[in-house]
Amino acid sequence: MHPILLKVGAFTVYAYGVMLALAFAVATWLAARTVRRLPVEHRAIAAEPLVDVVCLALLGGILGGRLFYVLLEWEFFRLAPQEVFAIWHGGLVWYGGLLGGGLAGWLAVRARRRSFLRVADQLAPFVTLGHAIGRVGCLLNGCCYGRPTDAWCGIVFPGQAAPVVPTQVFESLGLLGLYVVLRMLQRPAVLQAPGRVLGWYLASYAALRFFLEFARGDQAPWWMGLTLQQFISLAMLIIGLSLVRRRR
């Protein structure tokens, strides 16, 4: 693993932070580029305000993801409060980031008097792509790893005595496939029902995450043998399917 890409004196470049920045830059650039190519009648929001919305959603996502992580690891942060803001060490929970980013994005879209569901349909594939890139940061950082394994795909992470399942890689590949599917769904017949692309994103990622959690080695069961993230996935699956079934 390469958690530190460059270190010159006190100046340190962390792989996790670089991949987060790359994910944001690539996803935002592609989203704005795609909007500019759409006919005016199919644009939920123009490219320039779209970038503003994405920036606010990113800020909300970082705050939400970090808050969720701090709450989950409260015993550690209670003894080391100086680490609460050290996000360059890793420690963002995707579901917390999704909630925080979604709330910030909703407020930004509503302030511009636009339809949140239509804007979300426009952004969902690119959020997925950014997420896929961000998971590479988790791999380089050595977090979000899987259970010990003797399979060919096993990777030895720092602090681990045996190879573990590289769940970050599998999740990233799954998200890349989902990105392609969501881009294919962004056609007029589907977009006529606002929220349908968003619904497919929520339901598909929830299913992917639910099954990947069985291979995770850094998550303890929460109830009935399932992790907290699996229960959140089930709730998100229901929300996603309800959006998919919405009529025009």
pLDDT tens-digit series, residues 185-230: 998 888 888 999 999 999 999 999 999 999 988 788 888 889 999 9
Q: What is the pLDDT of residue 88?
A: 67
Establish if 233 belongs to a structural domain.
no
What's the CA gap between 166 and 155, in Å, rounded?
A: 6
What's the CA gap between 13 and 9, in Å, rounded?
A: 11
Establish if 149 belongs to a structural domain.
yes
What's the CA gap between 129 and 145, in Å, rounded?
A: 20
Residue 245 is encoded by which pair of tokens? 């079934």
Question: H or E segment at 219?
Answer: none
Q: Cα torsion for 88, 139, 92, 104, to the nearest 10°?
A: 100
Q: What is the pLDDT of residue 125?
A: 96
Q: Can you give the length of the chain in residues?
A: 248
Q: Cα torsion for 63, 67, 69, 71, to the nearest 10°?
A: 180
Q: What is the pLDDT of residue 77?
A: 87
Establish if 124 belongs to a structural domain.
yes
Segments in the chain below pLDDT 50: none
The answer to whether 182 and 125 are in contact (CB under 8 A) is yes
Establish if 248 belongs to a structural domain.
no
Residue 54 is encoded by which pair of tokens? 């994405």
Q: What is the pLDDT of residue 145?
A: 83
Establish if 207 belongs to a structural domain.
no
What's the CA gap between 220 and 230, in Å, rounded?
A: 11
Q: What is the pLDDT of residue 10?
A: 77
Q: What is the pLDDT of residue 161?
A: 79
What residue numbers bound the domain in which 102 lies? 4-192
Q: What is the pTM of this model?
A: 0.90
Q: What is the pLDDT of residue 42?
A: 79
The answer to whether 200 and 240 are in contact (CB under 8 A) is yes
Establish if 203 belongs to a structural domain.
no
CA torsion sign for 205, 211, 212, 213 is positive
Establish if 219 belongs to a structural domain.
no
The tally of domains found in the chain comes to 1
Q: What is the pLDDT of residue 247?
A: 64
Establish if 182 belongs to a structural domain.
yes
